[in-house]
Homo-oligomer: A and B are copies of this chain.
Amino acid sequence: MRSAVAPAAPGERPALTAEARATGIDAAAAAARRVIESLLHAGDSAADLSGVADQLNTIADQLSAQAPTVDERIADMWSGEGVTRHDPVTGPENAIAPPMPIRGLDDGSVEAQVTLHLPYQGPPGLVHGGVSALLLDHTLGTANFWAGASGRTGELTLRYHRPTPLFEQLTVSGRQTAVDGRKIWTEGAIQDASGEVCVSAKGLFITPRPEAIRFGRG
């Protein structure tokens, strides 16, 4: 996931995901997450929604009036600290992200704990299968970064072993298993609170050629 990021110096452990701050855009994104979830939770019938759309549109208008061009903003997003703050899985600035902080373990793997709520629902009370795929794709990419060899996703295979529950702590893990030239193999899983594997993933990643790295996926 981090091809554009300078590698950490030897012996230095890079942060794998951005930490949420208590102020500024992170606080606003955290509050926006509460709005998303509370809208879904309240629903049309129970809540008095008169004025909510107007209030939210006013906030959006004010923010948009102060925004740089999209190109400027994208350049700014990617010029920073080396860990993305805006991605839809771990980014504290992105209200779509749960967000799910990922940490690197000494054994070379990565791990995250996350509890998902109504916005991530597929079937009743269960995590949407595509959301599991989203979390695992990102976790495998982060595992590659942690292992020191990153690439673009070439192929990703997900196996759904049992339903993944909402409202309980899930553990999402990833580990690079092999590197052969520009090819990288990586595995991961989502486990429920009792440790049962709900979804497993295997990915083949391809290290981009140097001239492609700036805009490379991986």
Contacts and interface: CB of A to CB of B under 8 A. Distances in A.
Contact of A41 (B32, B55, B63, B134): B63
A152 to B, nearest CB: 7
Given A31-B56, A35-B56, A217-B123, A67 B96 contact: no
A100 to B, nearest CB: 11
A114 interface: no
Contacts of A53: 27-28, 30-31
A42 B67 contact: yes
Interface residue tally on A, bucketed by range? 35 or more
A59 B57 CA distance: 13
B67 A41 contact: yes
Given A60-B38, A88-B128, A70 B167 contact: yes
Contacts of A31: 52-57, 60
Nearest to A64: B38
A158 B88 CA distance: 19
A5 B38 CA distance: 25
26 contacts: A4-B123, A27-B53, A28-B39, A28-B56, A32-B36, A32-B56, A34-B56, A35-B56, A35-B95, A39-B93, A41-B70, A43-B73, A47-B66, A74-B118, A77-B124, A95-B95, A96-B96, A122-B217, A123-B216, A128-B134, A129-B137, A153-B158, A154-B159, A154-B160, A158-B158, A160-B217
